Chain A
């Protein structure tokens, strides 16, 4: 196991190579030893870029406060370890790692988005119709985009939308917190 000063030096080197903002380097160094080593290991294995490392440090800090657990415990969770071991490219795994962290940080948001996405998928809308949920459910606005190149295509898409009216209305209600939207 690396000694503390060796870990600190390795963290500073990693931070410097990525031009990590000082405040985030300090936050990283302020973690307990298992936590900062855990993050260092992941940062190097997944080759996290600057923005990703900043996000990871912020997310870990906030999850620590919300749940009262250390970052090392968070990083050892199954969903994080699975994301880090996924088959695929480094960038793919890095993105999966951050998605897993965000899911821990925003559990009810993830549940809500998964449910809404599933409702959208079940509509089986034709290509040319896209349902856009508000980003991070930051608003209650549902956007439906219709793209057509010909009049007949447009007519068909409008008819398809009309046929899915009940399902779309249900999604609009679910966005507004109605649990049992009919």
Chain B
């Protein structure tokens, strides 16, 4: 998949980094390259534009990351039954443009598509964490503030990441993507320590909301290819949007998935209903005023986010959880950003402690 860029900016101090050289070598075909003193300034919203967030996506900024790379998932909270996922922030923003995306609010103040040239510092952070708990397994993902693979043909980051993680027994790397940008992955040996996950939505949601992404069928086909190449695969039904025919469409999506990838080969499935802070909802509606998927029967929930009303949302989760159970093999599943009562209603059992959940998901 190729994404258009208007410009590539590189911080002066990052000129001679591996990443910058890689991008420059491939830049002639993409966009003009310029050098800047401070990428943080370049990443700020451009003044005078109707949609500075969209403009930011087309402005790649290769820069030094000045804060830690490794962190707990920003969606985590004591209110939710969390999965113990850790996040590696190697990039910020995304060349695709899903109407429901939380980045519209989260990076509104620095929308430039940042890619961090000092990503190897992340490896030291990971080794340090691992050393504090040598018996524990950790699942670490790169797909929280950016799509893990969207620009991989330009940055080649997956190569360094797979090489690092494949050498570490207690770590699982998760790439999370909506693309079929897997060519680099197919040249590498993950040694069972790398998992590639896809966000999946029914065709109707893809067409309405998921602009510039690979189609659901393309994602499933890509998953099949990486599975055959030795990677583990997982899927995130997130956000689940409860439009009128959603039950039928999500079940049909699962049937398409299970017909291509045997349930026994799926490491896990997660579910999360559409959830938007008031600020995100306003930003999304401003940018996508005619998107009917953003005006579902969403009400203000107890966590201050707009969510499908509980009865309908939980019902949809249960229908899908039942589908997973009857798929022919046990597929570990979890909910994202839901409290323990919802977890118990859906799965019939209390949620595991995040550390335990994390350990189990890391080793599946």
On A, residues with C-beta under 8 Å from B are 62, 65-66, 105-109, 112, 134-141, 174-179
Contacts of A140 in B (CB 8 A): 310-311, 314, 341-342, 345
Are A138 and B297 neighbours in the complex by a CB distance under 8 Å?
no
Contacts of B341 in A (CB 8 A): 140-141
Instruction: Given A138-B300, A138-B301, answer yes or no on A112-B292 (Cβ-Cβ < 8 Å).
Output: no
| Nearest CB of chain A from residue B89's CB, rounded to whole Å | 32
Are B309 and A138 neighbours in the complex by a CB distance under 8 Å?
yes
Are B309 and A137 neighbours in the complex by a CB distance under 8 Å?
yes
On B, residues with C-beta under 8 Å from A are 289-292, 295-297, 299-302, 307, 309-318, 341-342, 345
Interface centre among B292, B297, B311, B318 (most CB of A within 10 A): B311
Contacts A65-B292, A177-B311 known; 13 new A-B pairs at CB < 8 A: A62-B295, A65-B289, A65-B290, A65-B291, A66-B292, A66-B296, A134-B310, A136-B309, A138-B307, A140-B311, A177-B310, A177-B315, A177-B316
22 contacts between A and B (CB under 8 A): A62-B295, A65-B291, A65-B295, A66-B292, A66-B295, A66-B296, A105-B297, A109-B299, A136-B299, A137-B310, A137-B312, A138-B300, A139-B301, A140-B311, A140-B342, A140-B345, A174-B311, A175-B310, A176-B342, A177-B311, A177-B312, A177-B316
Which residue on B lies nearest to A139, using beta carbons?
B302
Q: How far is the CA of A105 from the CA of B345 in the complex (A)?
A: 27
Are A176 and B310 neighbours in the complex by a CB distance under 8 Å?
yes
Which residue on A lies nearest to B306, using beta carbons?
A138
Are A109 and B345 neighbours in the complex by a CB distance under 8 Å?
no
Which residue on A lies nearest to B313, using beta carbons?
A177
Q: How far is the CA of A141 from the CA of B290 in the complex (A)?
A: 33
Q: How far is the CA of A134 from the CA of B289 in the complex (A)?
A: 29
Contacts of A62 in B (CB 8 A): 295
Are A176 and B302 neighbours in the complex by a CB distance under 8 Å?
no
Q: How far is the CA of A67 from the CA of B217 in the complex (A)?
A: 28
Q: DSSP class of B's interface residues: helix, strand, loop or mixed?
A: helix
Contacts of B311 in A (CB 8 A): 112, 137, 140, 174-177
Q: DSSP class of A's interface residues: helix, strand, loop or mixed?
A: helix
Contacts of B314 in A (CB 8 A): 140, 176-177
Q: How far is the CA of A135 from the CA of B299 in the complex (A)?
A: 9
Contacts of A176 in B (CB 8 A): 310-311, 314, 342, 345
Partner of A108, one of B300, B302, B312: B312
Instruction: Given A138-B300, A141-B302, answer yes or no on A112-B295 (Cβ-Cβ < 8 Å).
Output: no
Contacts of A137 in B (CB 8 A): 299, 309-312
| Nearest CB of chain A from residue B79's CB, rounded to whole Å | 11
Q: How far is the CA of A134 from the CA of B302 in the complex (A)?
A: 9
| Nearest CB of chain A from residue B44's CB, rounded to whole Å | 26
Contacts of B292 in A (CB 8 A): 65-66
Contacts of A112 in B (CB 8 A): 309, 311-312
Which residue on A lies nearest to B307, using beta carbons?
A138
Are B297 and A109 neighbours in the complex by a CB distance under 8 Å?
yes
9 A-B pairs with least C-beta separation: A177-B315, A136-B299, A137-B309, A177-B314, A62-B295, A176-B345, A139-B302, A138-B301, A140-B310
Contacts of A141 in B (CB 8 A): 302, 341
Which residue on B lies nearest to A176, using beta carbons?
B345
Interface centre among A139, A140, A174 (most CB of B within 10 A): A140
Are A138 and B302 neighbours in the complex by a CB distance under 8 Å?
yes
Which residue on A lies nearest to B341, using beta carbons?
A140
Are A136 and B300 neighbours in the complex by a CB distance under 8 Å?
yes
Contacts of A109 in B (CB 8 A): 297, 299, 309, 312
Which residue on A lies nearest to B305, using beta carbons?
A138
Partner of A177, one of B289, B299, B300, B345: B345
Contacts of B316 in A (CB 8 A): 177
Contacts of B299 in A (CB 8 A): 106, 109, 135-138
Contacts of B290 in A (CB 8 A): 65
Are A138 and B310 neighbours in the complex by a CB distance under 8 Å?
yes
Contacts of B297 in A (CB 8 A): 105-109
Contacts of A179 in B (CB 8 A): 315
Interface centre among B300, B307, B310 (most CB of A within 10 A): B310
Which residue on A lies nearest to B289, using beta carbons?
A65
Contacts of A107 in B (CB 8 A): 297
Which residue on A lies nearest to B303, using beta carbons?
A139
| Nearest CB of chain A from residue B308's CB, rounded to whole Å | 9
Q: How far is the CA of A179 from the CA of B341 in the complex (A)?
A: 18
Q: How far is the CA of A108 from the CA of B311 in the complex (A)?
A: 10
Contacts of A105 in B (CB 8 A): 297
Interface centre among A62, A105, A134, A138 (most CB of B within 10 A): A138
Interface centre among A108, A135, A141 (most CB of B within 10 A): A108
Which residue on B lies nearest to A174, using beta carbons?
B311
